Chains A and B, each alone.
Chain A
Amino acid sequence: MTRAAAAILCKDLRIELRTRESVPAMALFALTVYILLHFGLDRDTLDGDLASGVLWVTLLLATVLAVNRLFANEREDGALDGLLLAPVDRTAVYLAKAAALFLYLVLLELVAVPAFALLLLAPGLGGALPELLAVLLVADLGLAAIGALVAALAAETRVRELVVPLFLLPLLVPVIIAGASATEPLLAAPQEADGLGGWLAFLALYDTVFVLVSLAVFDFLLDD
């Protein structure tokens, strides 16, 4: 299963490198939002809960873009049938898609977080960077786990552009609550790390639950 998942992941990354359809779109979207907020808000900088909310809502909406595209190359020319006909556990498909989405999110954040700090953040990232990275990575696991599941659910529907946000956003509400709550003191002045451990534990638990649920139901999603 690991070998098949690695093969599917490599294929997806190769296609993304050639088409540059997902990561650049996500990054451009996030940058655009931050620039709009930079000029649109009646204040020069943000901190605390507002900064945290802006950061997470933008990342969440950028995730929707990637989830919409996650099975795009499988839909063209019936390529998904090729996967389904191969002696490959459906779980490998899920793991590969989730891993691809996780990598896309990490790449997005490499661009979006510095841009956010530069354009909007009053206290700067400063010494809170390691804690912020930890929150982002654990939250990314949840976004990827849930995103891959919803992408598969929407893959064979004609209204996938509607299905993805309608299913994805409600499922991600706990992630954004935990992520924003964990990040808020890190983006405040002065920076603190109050309750960080608890929120990280909550995120890890939510990630685990969704990975297990996804592994249990993914076979049925790709079935006729």
Chain B
Amino acid sequence: MSDGAGATRAAPAEAPPERGEAAARRGEPMVVLERLERRYGERPALQGVSVRLEAGATLGVFGPNGAGKTTLLRVLAGLLRPHGGRARVAGASLPEEAWKLRGRVGYLGHEALLYRELTGRENLRFHARLHGVAAERVDALLAAVGMESRGDDPVRELSRGMVQRVAAARAVLHDPPLLLLDEPRAGLDIAAAALLEPLVGRSSGRTRVLVTHDVEGGLAECDAVLGLRVGDQALSAPAAAVAPARLRELYA
């Protein structure tokens, strides 16, 4: 679970809750979904989604706009309650044990989850305090994402790509066993994307659920593929068994 920034968690005051690594040691998959359902009012956003993701593996989630990809990530993060089926994430059954997921998931989505009026460094220090992470890790992560020199600028003054870099640092600040990534390279130039690779890329060694529209690139860094079409599961297969053309059909 190395991210190249030297994770140094502060000694917890109490016994820490069981983390995802413990589930992995027991041989339990990091994510198990069985006929998962989620609705917004009467409109189904997800239905019949079944997935099994082993620790350390990457699941690529593909599908057109409105297919339910972001909803799936938010359910996996414990931010949305599933309305049917079975969901077990990092050893926690959802929604009953959603509280167990707090601090064990790194989420990098369309929104940065940062405070615009605070600087990048202040944002990361705030989250470090919430997660019980040593302040030194903040500086190390800012350096790792190439934001050392702009770390003291308010987030509202940063470009889209710079905000994404700080958001990536926030997502891995607490060294989470599971990363939920919603188009993590959106707004990044090639150099910035390369900087984030050790943190949120395949080489991070973390279990990842990756939402992307980059069919070839996504397939190359996934172990398994989930295809969604307006909430329905259209495809679930090992990445090696899926041709790019099959994924493109989802967008037709």
Decide whether A and B assemble into one complex. yes
Q: A122: shortest Cβ distance to chain B, in Å?
A: 43
Q: B142: shortest Cβ distance to chain A, in Å?
A: 17
CB-defined contacts of B122 to chain A, threshold 8 Å: 11, 14
Q: Which of B114, B117, B130 contacts A86 (CB 8 A)?
A: B130
| A83 adjacent to chain B (CB < 8 Å) | yes
| B230 adjacent to chain A (CB < 8 Å) | no
Q: Residues 1-29 of chain A: 1 if any B CB is under 8 Å from the residue's CB, otherwise 0? A: 00110011001001100110000000000
B130 touches A88 (CB 8 A): yes
| B72 adjacent to chain A (CB < 8 Å) | no
Contact count band on B = 20 to 34
Interface SS majority for chain A: helix
Interface residues in A, total, Cβ within 8 A: 24
Across the two chains, which residue of chain B brings its CB closest to A92?
B130
Given known A-B contacts A4-B129, A11-B126, A86 and B102 have beta carbons under 8 A apart:
yes
B103 touches A87 (CB 8 A): yes
A18 touches B114 (CB 8 A): no
Q: Which of A3, A18, A81, A224 contacts B113 (CB 8 A)?
A: A81
A86 touches B81 (CB 8 A): no
Q: How many A-B residue pairs have CB under 8 A?
A: 78
CB-defined contacts of A3 to chain B, threshold 8 Å: 129
Residues A77-129 near B (CB distance < 8 A) = 77-79, 81-88
- Best-buried of A4, A81, A88, A224 by chain B (most CB within 10 Å): A224
A15 CA to B155 CA, complexed, in Å = 12
A15 touches B117 (CB 8 A): yes
Given known A-B contacts A4-B130, A7-B129, A85 and B105 have beta carbons under 8 A apart:
yes
A73 touches B103 (CB 8 A): no
A195 CA to B103 CA, complexed, in Å = 51
- B residues lining the A interface (CB < 8 Å): 17, 77-81, 102-103, 105, 107, 109, 111-118, 122, 126-127, 129-132, 154-155, 170
* 3 smallest beta-carbon distances between A and B, as pairs: A87-B103, A78-B111, A82-B113
- A residues lining the B interface (CB < 8 Å): 3-4, 7-8, 11, 14-15, 18-19, 73, 76-79, 81-88, 223-224
Apart from A84-B79, A86-B102, A87-B131, what 8 extra A-B contacts exist at CB < 8 Å?
A: A3-B129, A11-B115, A15-B117, A18-B117, A18-B154, A81-B107, A85-B78, A88-B130
